[in-house]
Structure 1
Amino acid sequence: MAKHGALLFSYFFTTVILTMSFYMSKAIDEDRKVHIVYLGSLPDNKVYSPLSHHLGMLERVVDSKSYSAANFLTRSYKRSFSGFAANITDRERERLANMKEVVSVFPSTTFRPQTTRSWDFIGLDEKIQRNASIESDTIIGVIDSGIWPESESFRDDGFGPPPKKWKGACAGGKNFTCNKKIIGARFYGSSSESARDEGGHGTHTASTAAGNAVKDVSFYGLAQAAASTTDRRIIDKVALGNGTTLVGASVNSFTLNGTSFPLIYGKDASSLCSESSARKCVDGCLDSDLVKGKIVLCDMAFGVDESYRSGALGSIFRVDWDDDSQIFALPATTLNNKSMM
């Protein structure tokens, strides 16, 4: 009996130890956060393999017994600088930070805009007095597709010589001339061997940052006197029968006059397709008799064509993105999946 008890205790003790080891290992693997490991500039060595180098560094520090280092590498940077992003523990972060070739290790952070109304955010009115003394002798550099020197935005009438602090040069290449407004230029990797703008984007951004005020200028594609007052976030609201209001996104020119209408899910409005296809309101799936006079809930935004074809009164589309307001052919809006939980 004593021998049987000893064997039972030994089995139980071994099981507990193994279980504890498993959960401790699992906890270590789960206690990870994405960090950016910055290694500085790319080596001049042409045979250098960033991915191999970064994996090798991870293999030297990873504690996990369940997974290889490759499972924790999320991004390998190899164009503008050398570095990588990895899902690592605090101990692994310290080991990487102590490596000679590592410049810094810092957490990966998601930043969001503080506002979409910049002028209001910094307390500026739509009409603001210019201050020549503050705005003078300021040099603005722009890295973009180039610049068009002949633009009215860059005329140098009334400008004096460049500020004394200017240390650059005009090396704009072929068919390019600087002036007292455009005081310097360089081109990199241009097939035309010139800093002259071939696409228009660089000219646009440079004129926004440092261009002259041009009389009677207009904005392409924007209605006069309305552009600065247009809300950057265009929303639509879905009011449910239980009093809940969900905020969606769409450019909706329709009005339902606050009237309540029945709601039907795509999967319940089809006898022609599989449940998966019906939920997405795939073409040919919705039954006109079932959706007529109702608002259809679809799991994909591309179901708008089928909703319109089948005669639905309107549609609600479940999506994974935010703030993408689209124009639909019928009363409709998108709702982020998180807002529907």
Structure 2
Amino acid sequence: MKLKLSLLFFSYLSLVALVNGADNERKTYIVYMGEMPEYRISAVDQHHNLLREAIKDEKIARESRIYSYEQSFNGFAARLLPHEADWLSQHESVVSVFLSKKLKLHTTRSWDFLGMNSKIPRMPQVESNTIVALLDTGVWIKSASFNDEGFGPPPSKWKGKCDKGVNFTGCNNKVIGARYFNLAGAADDDPLTPADLHGHGSHTASTAAGVAVPDTNLFGLANGIARGGVPSARIASYKVCWSKGCQDADLLAGFDAAIADGADIISVSIGGSTTTFLDDPIAIGAFHAMKRGILTLCAGGNDGPEFSTVENTAPWIMTVAASSIDRQFQSLVRLGDGTKIPGISVNTFTAAKQQYPLLNGFLARKESPKNSSACESGSLREDKVKGRIVYCQGSLGQDTIIKELGGIGIITSMDSFTDTAFPAVISASSVTVTDGQKIDRYINSTKGAATAVIDKSVTVSLTAPSIASFSSRGPQIITNNILKPDIAAPGIDILAAYSPAVTMSGEAGDNRLVNYNVISGTSMACPHVAAAAAYVKTFHPNWSIAAIKSALMTTAKPMKVQPEGAELSAGAGLIDPVSALNPGLIYEADMNSYITFLCKEGYNSSDIGLISGNKTKSCSSYPSAKGSDGLNYPTMQLRVNLSSTTISAVFYRTVTYVGQNKTMYKASVTAPKGLMVTIVPNTLSFSKQNEQQSFQVLLNGSFVGNKPWFISASLVWSDSKNNVKCPILVYKPLY
């Protein structure tokens, strides 16, 4: 059978040679060799030996190998002549040999995962006139993601300008504005320049609106097309963050400029204040943007999985949680006894051929009150760490400590953040606590020296989406009855443009400079939703920011979050930008709606007059806010007293029909035992576009027995085409 298959393969190779040209042209073939062998011979050596036998020339054999696959399976890629490939196909250790084909390019994943592939409908001219502003660390305009080839001049509405400075000589027709704000002194010794010397700003900007760049990757990880959600849109960069952080004064100056310059969408991947809205510069800036029809998107924060940690909670802001996509970067830990332990990290270092000595932090301890098991700074002996891999319990970010002491690798264990791969300055992998205990037992029970090796990261598929463990949760602490975050978007292991002015990890001792980097955070999720909002706006340029926000929320995909608190983690769910183009019904709100809401929240009339721009208009001039939350919001949340066992509330809502033909929507409710949700009326008829209908949502029930501190329900309005979803959450305070 082997001979028959080989003969068939030889015929195939001959045909390929005829099709592709002369028989002496080397092409890239993949030699698949099955599972990793049990014996300890280096896979690289095995692959080289085979190539040397096939090619008959030591130098050419060594130069021909492109990759060695030596972690999850055995094989290699090499540049071969057809007869060399045929020889390898007949070798007893080889399963198959085949040409490496050029497949269809895919995005480096998040936009395809969200259904925004290259074939979705677009409004190219309108998109090109859309301006996405980012308040961040600046932009590295030299990145291929910001190439302006094919772009015409900036839209006529654009009023911005371009500052100059180090590594920045001017804008182009893609990045049409770049300004920096440092009057608050956050830059300190930083060069005064709009150029991104941190990497964060370029990453967020390219995620939102970068042009398509093929064959991007991070040392082979996440290879594909890097592109933004609205690649034809223009970018305006406002550098408000520096090496020492982001000052409120600079941040507000950035808002001020972005609004005046003509931005359509403002993306802010910056932590907000957990204070009243009028003391929060982001809430203030976003409010004034809202008044001018500009939607502000903000990161919800990275303080999860604890509850009541969500930031940027003003109702006129769209607050974004971070979710996973369907890939993960895994770094296998191989112990000296043959045990293989899965871990995750962005580990770009190629695994060594031999194993290294392995010990834990406790065995490397020195006299110190600090926790050596967690490898705290100052707790370890240099002579014990040098040349070794160190296992550190319950910690992250100790790689710089181990490197400074001469260590060559680190294994960490935590049961939180096991969904997020982090970069390190040395070979690293993060494992679960259970697997960490296995490593500890191996170290403590091995006669002689324990050893290990950490493999370079590989990309694997996984089930998604899920909320990132680091993503901040509600309930928010500023406004009891507004659910935050609003929505979720990809924020784990996102590949996007970076700045070569800073190292890959940003840590001392790291010499890796990259043009594209993998980063995680709600900072990465925020520009995804900013792009989605811009995308919807290109089809509906006259929609209000509340309408765009509502469309994204009511069409979002519900997410299950374990063990509890789905809505507190994900809001309305995962964005579905294409579905948001035709939401059926929207929940409208304007400036007067938000003013009425602020009045209900207890803000005084003089302040209301100031922020509304009408000093003579007090709260008594606005209609009283009705219902438990006082706002026409696309979600519903109710806080009850800690000692209360009963639930009683009413929400007032008005929906606007944005479809084309006459239709009727019928309400359906999903609610747990103990909670009754009544919709009055439970059918809504519409005869024309932009017609409005109002309804009430009545909640009655109780927290029964061992019920958790929250109760989750949902309302869906459905006609023959659309399902307009609205989560309902009732909770007790955590303290």
Q: TM-score range by the shorter chain?
A: 0.3 to 0.5
Q: Judging by fraction of residues, say which structure has more helix.
A: 1
TM-score norm. by structure 2 comes to: 0.18
TM-score norm. by structure 1 comes to: 0.36
